[in-house]
Amino acid sequence: MSGWAAGKDPYANADALLFVGTNPLVSLSTFNFALQNPVKQLHEAKERGLKLVVIDPRETETARHADVFLQVLPGEDPTVLAGLLRIILCRGWHDDGFCARYPNDLRRLARAVEPFTPEYVAERAGVSVEALEAAAAAFAEPVREAGGLHRKRGSAASGTGPNMAPHSNLAEHLVECLNVVCGRFARPGDPVPNPGVVAPRYQRRAEVIPPRRSWESGWKSRVGGYGMLFLRPPTSCLRPWFATARFHLTT
């Protein structure tokens, strides 16, 4: 996947937020959440109508404030995310204008998540069909207003939970698919938080950053043939290296 030069939807504009395996009221580490006095800001956001969806095996401090809480079985985050994508695409809750202009392979994504029916997801991930559908609606269902349908703003984010579980890359990919399908990126005219406070100001453009895929070229590890990420070998290289080193030391 590529990136978006202007970043995700600003927190101030969010109608809905979705957190997967992260607890920002305690950890203060989630990009699409307020870091200054987060409890107060969450209460204020919910008073103005923010819908909060939390996916987590544990009922965290953040989950207690959720409008919809999906207490999934550990490691089943990708299953739930695929199920949410299927519901959103089947019901036409995606941002069709954004999807027509920017992402490729939307039909391929729809085919990939087709097997993840609400009934299958409920059985495999340990959640109810009703809760899964409520989560999809809270995050993506357009709101009917006097001037017509209003597409929700506000992004999805994950944390160390899915990152340390099986299929972590897939979980992250599907979280970003939710943001792409729903068009949850900053648009021209949106506010920019803290411009030029701890870093030089730069112009934020509402445009795609092509994927670099640096791991496909250049240095490759001797064990596994892994490439570089952010100019460093991925941690998956460390385990076979330690195993080899321990073997040599003991013999």
Cα–Cα distance for residue pair 24/41, rounded to 1 Å? 12
- Quick one: pLDDT at residue 210? 86
Superfamily of domain 3-181: Dimethylsulfoxide Reductase, domain 2 (3.40.228.10)
Q: What is the per-residue pLDDT for 52?
A: 97
How many angstroms separate the Cα of 102 from the Cα of each of 105, 182, 185?
Answer: 10, 12, 12
Contact 94, 84 (CB under 8 A): no
Whole-prediction pTM value? 0.87
CB 124 within 8 A of CB 74: no
Six-digit token string for 189: 């005219």
Judge contact between 154 and 187, C-beta under 8 A. Answer: no
Q: Are 4 and 204 in contact (CB under 8 A)?
A: no
SS3 of residue 101 by DSSP: helix
d(CA 210, CA 76): 30
pLDDT in tens, the chain (251 residues): 888 988 899 888 899 999 999 999 998 778 888 888 889 999 999 999 999 999 999 999 999 999 999 999 999 999 999 999 999 999 999 999 999 999 988 999 999 999 999 999 999 999 999 999 999 999 999 988 877 789 999 999 998 889 888 899 999 999 999 999 999 999 998 887 666 777 787 788 889 998 888 888 888 888 788 888 778 877 766 655 444 444 444 44
pLDDT at position 242, please?
47
What pLDDT does 192 receive? 76
Query: Could you tell me the residue ranges of all domains in the chain?
Result: 3-181, 214-250
